[in-house]
Amino acid sequence: MTERRDSSGEYRSVDGVDIRLDGPVLRCTLDRVKTRNALDSVMMLGLIDAVEAAGQDERVRLIAITGNGDHFCAGADIIARNAPTDVKPRVGSIQRRLPAQAHRLVPLLLSVQTPVVTSVRGFAAGIGFHLALASDFCVATESARFWEPFLSRGFTPDSGGSWLLPRLGGTKLAREMILLGRELSGADAAAHGLIHDAVPDADLDAATEALVGKLAEAPTVALGLAKWLMATGASLPLDAHLANEAFALELSSRSQDFREGLAAFREKRDPGFTGR
């Protein structure tokens, strides 16, 4: 597997994904414009390594995922994966590969305590759509297209689509998108609560950066623990969730940002959180 960082501690890009640390923000830009940024194995593993490393990197306070060109991500590169070859994969190759790639990436975005923001223009299809759903905040253009292409290609969803969509948008919308192939515009996705916001095309970068800046200046420890509480709470009984809340409160109240928040409240000023 490609090393997630080089010997100097800096992040490494991989073929198809530009990965760089920009102050407190880890920026991951999908960059296979000719394929509408369709993900191949190298890209998925590069994203997994980057997100895992960011979750343990004290410098990183936010992960931003964008796409180069006119589209965010057209899904997995199934054309390249199914190209004719003299060596046929063994039976079971899909169920062996997915847990290490797509089925690792999506849960990682949901569970990493570093907040994740995606910015979508053009198509977000298949796993591209699921990256947007799994992020904490997705900002898209009003004209963006969110699509589940699986059944139109003759196979079933992967990368968490059939789990995420019913929970975020309800069963009716999930059936329409997965079983009937309904596409949603960015404006429709925002109206259904699937994404954070939809903006005019010309405003996407500014709206995304405003959100990125706000989250990168937030109390990082408390933010990450709050994300963890929301992610785990839906599957826990109340008493177990309340125990987790007490645990998270204990940790967050020991942070420097907690002390800064109290000082700012007493002094009637805006806090200056450092993420510590």
Q: What is the pTM of this model?
A: 0.90
pLDDT for the residue numbered 2: 44
Q: How many residues does the chain have?
A: 276
pLDDT tens-digit profile of 81-111?
A: 555 556 676 766 676 777 768 889 999 999 9
Please give the CATH architecture assigned to the domain spanning 17-216: Alpha-Beta Complex (3.90)
β-bridge pairing 17-22 and 25-30: antiparallel
Q: Is the pLDDT of residue 229 over 80?
A: yes
Q: CA 93, CA 98: separation in Å to the nearest integer?
A: 9
pLDDT tens-digit profile of 154-193?
A: 888 989 999 999 999 999 999 999 999 999 999 999 999 9
List helix spans (H) across the chain: 41-56, 78-81, 93-97, 102-111, 127-134, 161-169, 171-178, 186-191, 204-216, 220-233, 238-252, 256-267
